[in-house]
Amino acid sequence: MAKLNFGGVEETVVTREEFTLEKAHEVLKDETIAVIGYGVQGPGQSLNLRDNGFNVIIGQRPGKTYEKAIADGWKPGETLFGIEEACEKASIIMCLLSDAAVISVWPHIKPYLSAGKALYFSHGFGITWNDRTGVVPPADIDVIMVAPKGSGTSLRTMFLENRGLNSSFAIYQDYTGRALDRTLAIGIGIGSGYLFETTFQREAVSDLTGERGSLMGAIQGLLLAQYEVLRENGHTPSEAFNETVEELTQSLMPLFAQNGMDWMYANCSTTAQRGALDWMGPFHDAIKPVVQSLYQSVKEGTEAQKSIDANSRPDYRDRLEEELKSLRESEMWQTAVTVRKLRPENN
C-alpha cells in the first residue's frame, strides 16, 4: 500500500500494479464467494469476478432478478442458489442487497456466518446504523467492505472497456488476520481502478451526503432552478435545456473530468471565465449551509431512519414510481428526450 499526496493530505492507496490480479487469485484460491442479491451492484461485481476467474456463486430468491441471473449465465443448482444455500456454501458472503433488503434478509444470512468466514458489504449503512438495522455480525468472522464509487452498471461497463472504477475499502472486524488481503483481493477482482482506505462510518456518511448532494439531489435542484428561471423569462425549452444540461453533460464535464476545473475554465471564452469566477463565490456561500445541514442530518442517523422507514412501507415501490414518473414527465426531462434524439450519434 502506498501513501499518496492528495491536496497536501496523505492517504493510503492500493493500485492494481501493487496488488495484482495474480496475487488476488492466490489470496482467494480456496475461497467460495457468494454474491447475495442481484440488483444494483450484484451483477457488475459477480460478473467481473467470474470473468476474472474467481469461484463465484449467486444467492437470490426466485423472481425477476433470479431470471436475470439465469440470462447472465448463472446456472441453477451449479452457480445459482437460494440465499440460505449460497450462504452455507460460501466462505465469503458478499451482501449486495439494498439497505432495506439487508434488514429483512439478515435473519436468513446470520445463521451461516460460521467462524472464519468473511461478511462483505459495498456500503457501510447496515453496520454504521446497526442500532436501527439490527445488522450485528458475530465476533468470530471478518467484516469487510469494498465500495465502488459508481453504479454496478458503470463498474461492469468500465471493466469491459479495460478501465477501472475507483473504490474505497475498509475493515470493520479482522478475526482471521487475513481480512485486509481478502478485502484487497476482492477489490481487484471486481475491477477497481485503485482502492483508497476509509471506515464503514465514513463511507456511509459521505455516500449518503453525496447522493443527496452533488451527485443526485443537489444537481437536480440546481438544474431545475436554472431551467425554470430561463423559461420564466421567455427562453424556449430547447434553449433552456441546452444552456442548463446539454452543454454541461456533453461538453464541459468531460473537460474538467479530464484535467480539472481550472483547465476547463482556461478552455472556455473569457466572458465565461470571468462570470464563473465571479459567481462561484455567491453559489458556494448560498449552498454550503444546505450541505452542512444535510451532513448533520446524515451523521445523526436521521437520513438513515428516513430511508429505513420509507423503504419498509408495503407501497414503497408504487410511491417511488409516482415520484419518478413526475420527474420523468417534467418539461425539462421531456425536452431531454427530444434533445438526445437530435444528437449526431443518433442520426
- DSSP β-bridge partners for residue 121: 95, 145
Cell 442500532 identifies what position? 131
| Active site (catalytic) residues | 123
Helix pair angle (331-341, 217-232), 10° resolution: 90
| Strand 2-6 relative to strand 33-36, pairing | unpaired
Residue 309, phi-psi category: left (phi > 0), alpha (psi -120 to 50), beta (remainder): alpha
Amino acid at 211: E
Q: How far apart are CA 35 and CA 280, in angstroms?
A: 44
DSSP for 255-324 reads: HHHHH-HHHHHHTS-HHHHHHHHHHHHHHHHHHHHHHHHHHHHHHTTHHHHHHHHHHTSTTHHHHHHHHH
Q: How far apart are CA 133 and CA 95, in angstroms?
A: 14
DSSP for 105-157 reads: HHHHHGGG--TT-EEEES-SHHHHTHHHH-----TTSEEEEEEESS-HHHHHH
